[in-house]
Amino acid sequence: MKFIKVRAIVEGYAEGPALISKEPISFYGGIDPRTGVIREKGHPLEGKTVKNTILIFPYGKGSTVGSYVLLSLAKHGVAPKAIVNLESEPIIVIGCLLAKIPLVDKPQEDVFKILNDNENVKVIANKENAYICIEKR
Amino acid sequence: MFLSREEELMLDGEFGEAVELAARVVVKVAEVLGASRLMPIKSAHISGISYKNIGDAGLEFLKELTEKNAHFRVPTTINPAGFDFNKWQKMKIDDKFFIKQCEIVNSFSKMGARITLSCIPYTFNKPAFGDHIAWSESNAVLYANSIIGARTNREGGPLAIFEAIIGRAPYMGLHLTVNRQPNIYVDFTEVVKVGFSPSLLGYTLGVLVKNGVPFVKPTSFLTNIEDIKLFLAAVGASSSIAMVLLDKYSPEAKLNRYKLETLEKITVSISDVEMSKEKISKALDNIDAFLIGCPHLSCDEIRKIYLFLENRRIIRRLILFTSRDIIEKNKSMLERLEKSGVEIYADTCMVVSEIANLGLKNVAVDSAKAAYYLTSQGYNVSLLNRKDILESVSGDYP
């Protein structure tokens, strides 16, 4: 087991397969709000779905309407189970708060090096003590 | 983070579910971004009104807020919608879009917003120097900070809604005097005499600088307030800049003596401008229409356009965008323009409506902001000066 300390922004607990993007994600226009499929042309995750994943990306970009898209994903049951950012910005913070998706940022280790797609990840986001947990090494 | 007694009561649900939700969101954003406290705001302006932009996801959210009896605590204005409410059939809006857009506007109406449907909120409710406000819509934010000296960050549409509901915003960023100092000196000497449009120069500034608070000198290429408006709107389209200190224009640039020699300096070159123009403008053989009004036209601008076209014949399609309020104030002038063949739309703009429905594919604009967004929507765009546009669309009477 390996634990990586993070900052909890939206509290909660989640567990699921990692979906990793080294590129920022634009939720508005970049993700279908009804299916959760990433449709931004040329994005490394194009064609994949965020549904039930632990979605890991540096930060959000693009229109602030992205907050509404996160909420819509949750309503249609296709939201990620949790989000891990390097540094969260208001689009993602507001979206996760509204949609009640656990959100953490500022991991103290390089998650892009340590984690692989589909690897099982636990996100434990308590205000005082937040970390992500993986099962290897 | 410090919270006042009233703010704590908001979080505890004393003022109802909507206020509690709004307070939770604003406090959370403030915490994440490192603000020390919240601060009262005098007004809010909300972007993300067109159904084309916010879609069903946005509409569902707004409906939920109204079901929770959300109400704005401060005077709140809203951005343009997806069509002109008096000419929606002419704009070929289908029934579904029409109904959804009405529901969006109705939600804002229920929450107590003034239904301005315009991106120039300072013509409705002009803040004073030093006022703290929470505005989204980048051109308005840049204008408020740079020309009025009011204080706002570039809020996102959803955040501005929550800030309007609690009447407060995080005390951070451009609300603090210390962050309203220039961090880069942008020298326009090399390009001022070439005759580039102010809008293109603004776009270039954003491409080169990206963020922070640039100090711009010389500013002799800005000859009037229309130039400044187009310049700042373009800065907002190509960067995340929220304030520009314009030598001779910005109130804070007049009040303060900045140590320019201590700042990082960049000189804008002719090739910088030409390179940024390539991304948003091309020479077009066939122009379907000429569009003016991004940002929305002011009374002054309409008067000038009217005076230019008054004794001329309209020979090409010219489409103007402004607010309903400004149309009412200039009724006789605009009626005469319409009679001569000029098309005029309120409540919407070239960026948030679907101008393909007006039979347009190749367009000319005088706004680099519009050129940027229309190009990204798949239109062919030519960026011209306003004067060239007015000359192109009109001819002498025989």
CATH number of the CATH domain containing A122: 3.50.30.10
Residues B127-183: tens digit of each pLDDT: 999 999 999 999 999 999 999 999 999 998 999 999 999 999 999 999 999 999 999
Q: Which of A31-45, A93-107, B35-49, B319-333 has the lowest mean pLDDT?
A: A31-45
* Whether A64 and B48 lie within 8 Å, measured CB to CB: yes
Residue A121 has pLDDT above 70, yes or no: yes
* Whether B57 and A9 lie within 8 Å, measured CB to CB: no
pLDDT score for A29: 80
Nearest to B28 among A9, A63, A68 (CB): A9
Tell me how far apart the terminal alpha carbons of chain A are, to the nearest angstrom: 6
Distance of CA A126 to the CA centre of its chain: 16
Residues B344-379: tens digit of each pLDDT: 999 999 999 999 999 999 999 999 999 999 998 899
Nearest CA in chain A to B377: A29
% of chain A exceeding 70 in pLDDT = 99
pLDDT score for A42: 85
Residue A54 has pLDDT above 70, yes or no: yes
Do B365 and B381 touch, CB atoms closer than 8 A? yes
Residue B398 has pLDDT above 80, yes or no: no
Peptide bond into B40 cis (omega under 30): no
Q: Does A30 touch chain B (CB under 8 A)?
A: no
State mean pLDDT over B372-390: 95
CA dist B5 → B12, B33, B150, B183, B373 (Å): 11, 22, 27, 37, 44
* Residues of chain B found within 8 Å of residue A93, distances taken between Cβ atoms: 25, 28-29, 32
Burial status of residue B93 (CB atoms within 10 A of its CB: 0-12, 13-18, 19 or more): buried
Do A132 and A5 touch, CB atoms closer than 8 A? no
* Residues of chain A found within 8 Å of residue B79, distances taken between Cβ atoms: none
Do A17 and A84 touch, CB atoms closer than 8 A? no
pLDDT score for A28: 83
DSSP state letter for B176: S
For residue A22, the enclosing domain spans: 2-135
Distance from CA of A90 to the nearest CA of B (A): 6
Neighbour tally for A130: CB within 10 Å? 21
Residues B213-254: tens digit of each pLDDT: 999 999 999 999 999 999 999 999 998 899 999 999 999 999
Q: Does B385 touch chain A (CB under 8 A)?
A: no
Banded pLDDT at B291 (limits 50, 70, 90): very high
Q: Does A90 touch chain B (CB under 8 A)?
A: yes
Maximum C-alpha span of chain A: 40
pLDDT score for A137: 57
Q: Does A92 touch chain B (CB under 8 A)?
A: no
The more confidently predicted of residues B271 and B56 is B271
Nearest to A94 among B29, B53, B136 (CB): B29
* Whether B55 and A71 lie within 8 Å, measured CB to CB: no
| Residue to substitute from B1, B21, B24, B28, interface A, most A β-carbons within 10 A | B28
Q: Does B29 touch chain A (CB under 8 A)?
A: yes
Nearest to B32 among A63, A64, A93 (CB): A93
Quote the Cα angle for B112-A69-B99, to 5°: 50
B376 phi and psi, to 5 degrees? -70, -20
Nearest to A65 among B25, B32, B157 (CB): B157
Banded pLDDT at A40 (limits 50, 70, 90): confident
Nearest to A9 among B32, B53, B156 (CB): B32
The backbone region for A113, taken as left when phi is positive above 0, alpha when psi lies in -120 to 50, beta otherwise, is alpha
Neighbour tally for B126: CB within 10 Å? 12
B241 vs B44: CA distance, rounded Å: 19
Helices (H), chain B: 5-11, 17-33, 51-67, 95-110, 138-143, 157-166, 189-192, 198-209, 225-238, 251-255, 270-280, 299-309, 324-329, 331-339, 368-376, 386-393
Q: Which of residues 53-82 of A touch B (CB under 8 A)?
A: 63-65, 67-69, 71-72, 75
Distance from CA of B228 to the nearest CA of A (A): 25
B197 vs B383: CA distance, rounded Å: 9
Rg (CA), chain B: 21
Please, which residues have CB within 8 angstroms of residue B51's CB and are 6 or more apart in sequence?
B58, B59, B81, B82, B97, B100, B101, B104
- What integer best gives the mean pLDDT of chain B? 96
The backbone region for B256, taken as left when phi is positive above 0, alpha when psi lies in -120 to 50, beta otherwise, is beta
Residue B114 has pLDDT above 70, yes or no: yes
CA dist B53 → A46, B39, B82, B351 (Å): 21, 30, 8, 10
**Nearest Cα to Cα of residue A30 among A18, A15, A43:** A43
Catalytically annotated residues of A: 63
Burial status of residue B129 (CB atoms within 10 A of its CB: 0-12, 13-18, 19 or more): exposed
* Whether A65 and B58 lie within 8 Å, measured CB to CB: yes
Distance from CA of A72 to the nearest CA of B (A): 5
* Whether A94 and B162 lie within 8 Å, measured CB to CB: yes
- Total structural domains in chain A? 1
* Residues of chain A found within 8 Å of residue B157, distances taken between Cβ atoms: 64-65
Residue B1 token pair: 């983070």
* Residues of chain B found within 8 Å of residue A130, distances taken between Cβ atoms: none
Banded pLDDT at B337 (limits 50, 70, 90): very high
* Residues of chain A found within 8 Å of residue B48, distances taken between Cβ atoms: 63-65
Nearest CA in chain A to B156: A64
Q: Does A101 touch chain B (CB under 8 A)?
A: no
Quote the Cα angle for B130-B119-B376, to 5°: 125
Q: Does B377 touch chain A (CB under 8 A)?
A: no
